[in-house]
């Protein structure tokens, strides 16, 4: 299975980083019932990004719930030396892994190592990195992730320059490579990001920060048509 099987034109991906971890499984089930199929799982190591977030130990409990309902887990590695964590992510039930070009000494080698673990592959880049630098390295990946915040925390303000950066990226990539955006995505910008060419929308606080999770998910999915 691959991203092309998982994406129904476009996907809103609830970012579990913003969930209530005391009831993580329940919140995932609520969103699965609301129609979410791709869940975003942020791994931060306290080095590439300041905070330590969650890792395979949490992933292994969530992945069976998601897989049982036909969903998938898209793992965003905000870590140095991402190659060290690929096997553990695959073992814990991750379906796709996205690593940062700023954190990888040899991007094609990490992409190949991820594929060897049976993972789909994404390449992420920070706001300070040029979209062209990511596009030039995207030959071996399924998606490119344009960060619209500095990676690290949920709940930060969207950087409006991301809309143009997504457009530039889309123009540089082959049609077969998906464009994902992550950080501060919500009702106010999802339409513009889609128009610029993104098809994968990671959403943390604009879903989990609302009282009614299904309604928040549904409104965002509807905005994509």
Is 203 a binder of ligand DX5 (CB under 6 A)? yes
Which residue from 55, 71, 94, 184 is in contact with ligand DX5, where contact means CB under 6 A?
A: 184
The site partner of 194 among ligand DX5, Zn ion, none (C-beta below 5 to 8 Å per kind) is: none
List CB contacts of 4: < 8 A, sequence separation 6 or more.
none
Which x/- pattern, by CB under 6 A, does the window 139-168 give for ligand DX5? ----------x-xxxxxx------------
Phi, psi (rounded to 5 degrees) for 187: -60, -35
Does residue 225 sit in helix, strand or coil? coil
Asked if 82 interacts with ligand DX5 (CB under 6 A), we say no
Task: Report the nearest approach of ligand DX5 to the CB of residue 78 (Å).
Answer: 6
Cβ(144)–Cβ(42) below 8 Å:
no
If one asks whether residue 99 binds ligand DX5 (CB under 6 A), the answer comes out as no
Q: How far is CA 32 from CA 35, 40, 61, 189, 208, in A?
A: 5, 13, 15, 24, 14
Q: Name the residues that contact ligand DX5, by CB under 6 A.
A: 15, 17-18, 40, 42, 76, 149, 151-156, 182-185, 202-206
């Amino acid at each position: 299975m691959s991203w092309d099987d998982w994406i129904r034109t476009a996907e809103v991906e609830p970012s579990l980083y913003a969930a209530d971890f005391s009831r993580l499984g329940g919140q995932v089930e609520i969103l699965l019932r609301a129609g979410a199929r791709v869940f975003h799982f942020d791994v931060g190591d306290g080095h590439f990004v300041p905070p330590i977030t969650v890792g395979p130990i949490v992933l292994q409990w969530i992945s069976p719930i998601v897989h049982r309902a036909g969903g998938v887990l898209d793992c965003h590695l905000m870590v140095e030396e991402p190659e060290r964590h690929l096997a553990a992510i695959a073992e814990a039930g991750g379906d796709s892994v996205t690593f940062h070009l700023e954190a990888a000494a040899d991007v094609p080698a990490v992409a190949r190592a991820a594929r060897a673990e049976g993972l789909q592959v994404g390449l992420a880049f920070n706001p300070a990195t040029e979209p062209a630098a990511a596009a030039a390295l995207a030959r071996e990946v399924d998606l490119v992730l344009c960060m619209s915040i500095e990676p690290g925390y949920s709940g930060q303000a969207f950087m409006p320059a991301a809309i143009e950066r997504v457009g530039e990226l889309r123009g540089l990539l082959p049609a077969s490579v998906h464009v994902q955006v992550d950080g501060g995505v919500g009702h106010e910008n999802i339409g513009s990001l889609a128009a610029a060419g993104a098809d994968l929308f990671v959403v943390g606080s604009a879903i989990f920060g609302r009282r009614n999770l299904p309604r928040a998910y549904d409104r965002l999915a509807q905005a994509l048509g």
